[in-house]
Structure 1
Amino acid sequence: MRYESVPPVSRDDLRLALAEKDNEAIHRALVGLALHDADGAWVQDQCLALKDHPSWDVRAIALLCLGHVARIHGTIDLDRVLPVLRSALNDPRTAGYAEQAIDDIEVFVTPDQGPHT
């Protein structure tokens, strides 16, 4: 595995990638937004919207990015996110990504943080 710096991207980059059904561009846009967009709740919503994407690798990156949001912002909507992550544990292709996101949530999000946003 090799670390690569992920540059910021615009929300339009994600919209375009989704419209073009370009999975690699979706990956880059999701990770770029998860790591750099100031609105973690918006990024979370984009990731959750992809939970049923036909491509397992897009679903996996969306799950991974939920963990990034939790780590970077210290908050996430536990009531919406945890059921999605737990469900993804049942798919061997996405289970590892879901486990990573759950680990990030357990480390970086306080359960009694007030409203889960």
Structure 2
Amino acid sequence: MMNYKSCPLTDRVTFLKTLQGSDLEAICSQMIGFTEYEADWKQAQNTILMCLRDPRPEVSALAVTCLGHIARIHGKIDKEIVKQQLASMHIQNDMQGRIEDVLDDINYFAQ
């Protein structure tokens, strides 16, 4: 059974500070909170794009998902930049499906 856990409202400065640490649960929770609550879609997009290069697979995988959330929440995303960044990722087999889902979300929700 899955349990819903609310993510904290997180600003960019707080998230980036947490991202430098090693607490993966806090990083992931704050990444979702930042993605959901950041009013500036471009700021959210650019911050999450940085996370694609994080060496921790939990962080980079969640960053992929968060890009889809940005498209869904804001109805906007820079499709060319995001698609280019996703295409240039060193893709592990378990990430391919996630990336395809996010690209579908971007194409459906973003202008």
Q: Same fold (TM over 0.5)?
A: yes
SS of 1:47's partner is helix
Root-mean-square deviation over aligned CA pairs:
1.9
The aligned counterpart of 1:47 is: 48
Q: Quote the offset at 1:7 in angstroms.
A: 3.1
Question: Which runs of no fewer than 5 residues in structure 2 stay unpaired?
Answer: none
SS of 2:93's partner is coil
The aligned counterpart of 2:75 is: 74
User: How many equivalent residue pairs?
Assistant: 110
Q: Report the TM-score, using the length of structure 1 for normalisation.
A: 0.81
The aligned counterpart of 2:21 is: 20
2:12 corresponds to 1:11: yes
Query: Contact (CA 8 Å) 2:8, 2:30: kept in 1 or not?
Result: no
Which 4+ residue blocks in structure 1 deviate beyond 4 angstroms?
none
| 1:8 partner amino acid | L
Question: Which runs of no fewer than 5 residues in structure 1 stay unpaired?
Answer: 111-117
Q: Percent of aligned pairs with the same residue?
A: 35
Query: What is the distance in 1 between the residues matched to 2:24 and 2:95?
Result: 16
Q: Quote the offset at 1:79 in angstroms.
A: 1.4
Q: Report the TM-score, using the length of structure 2 for normalisation.
A: 0.84
